[in-house]
Amino acid sequence: MGIRVAVAGASGYAGGELLRLLAGHPELDLVAATAHTQAGQPVAAVHPQLAGLDLVLRATDPATLADADLVFLALPHGESAALAAALPPTVKVVDLGADHRLRDADAWARYYGGPHAGAWTYGLPELPGQRAAIAAATRVASTGCYAVATTLALAPLIAAGAVRPTDVVVVAASGTSGAGRAAKAHLLGSEVMGDLSPYKVGAHQHVPEIKQATGATSVSFTPVLAPMPRGILATVTAVPTGDADPREVLKRAYADAPFVHLLPEGAWPHTAATAGSNSCHLQATLDVDSGRVLVVSAIDNLGKGAAGQAVQNANLMLGLPETTGLSVFGVAP
């Protein structure tokens, strides 16, 4: 028997990706998967890509999850806190939702609304000191998808003093799976195909998380819905403070990070190259006209942006190598 794990919210896109990763994980035994409206359905009926995974979705109940050593919460924002509080303190928890990411209660109220559940250990291992903090934690809040793509591009530059923490501008395109699996008219194929559309302009909920994780003090963030199922491409620009080479800063910061890859000079990230992986691809340069530092970041929003990141955190919490059960390589074509 391996380490017993369970997934709450297993019927969604992130939950399905979690099931796929856990089914192939050499050290973890998937003992329960829960859902709301899909409870009672075989996993393969909800996620056809998981044919052969002999598991039936059960109702989301603390008693169903309490027998696991670690529980993943892949629930809508605002639903994780109550369920986590009902689990025994001996059960480790990784929350893929936003409930426990923000330290600032005012920021939570402004961007999410409702009561603030308190902050857990932040689940981005590549930040300084976070691997050890995650390994020692019993409750970890995984990152938002846009937040991880932006933070990996920006945080080392601010930490090194290479760019100003003010006047950070981010434009990021995401695949439709980032909006969840619920039926919505604006996500229909006929609406999305052949179209790019901005949304939540100037008020996206990942802004306070990006500021908290990177040390930025002002961020202008424009998210764009792209006609693809998965992936994020973020373009991050900031004002340099001197003549530091941003590529060298990123190279030093991620020298020992197995999932972050600074591409060779002149090669630019592609979302397709990260699909199915837990990797982030980065490239940096100076804009020849404005002089701003420019970093492009690509991830799979369901991988490093959600399920892969959650498994990476769980590996650390369980004393396993952080790469266990995760691929650094994408799937192509």
The residues assigned a catalytic role are 145
Q: Which residues pair with 163 in a beta bridge?
A: 240
β-pairing verdict for 3-8 and 92-95: unpaired
Edge-first strand listing for the sheet containing 28-35: 58-59, 28-35, 3-8, 70-73, 92-95, 139-142, 121-123
Helices (H) and strands (E) in the chain, counts: 12, 14
Q: Report the C-alpha gap between 207 and 221 in whole angstroms.
A: 7
Longest dimension (CA), the chain: 60
What are the b/e assignments for 106-121, b being 16+ CB within 10 Å? ebbeebbeeebbebbb
3-state secondary structure of 164: coil
Q: How far is CA 299 from the centre of its chain?
A: 9
Determine contact, residues 324/315, Cβ cutoff 8 Å.
Answer: yes
Q: List Cα–Cα distances, 39 to 61, 71, 82, in angstroms.
A: 11, 17, 19
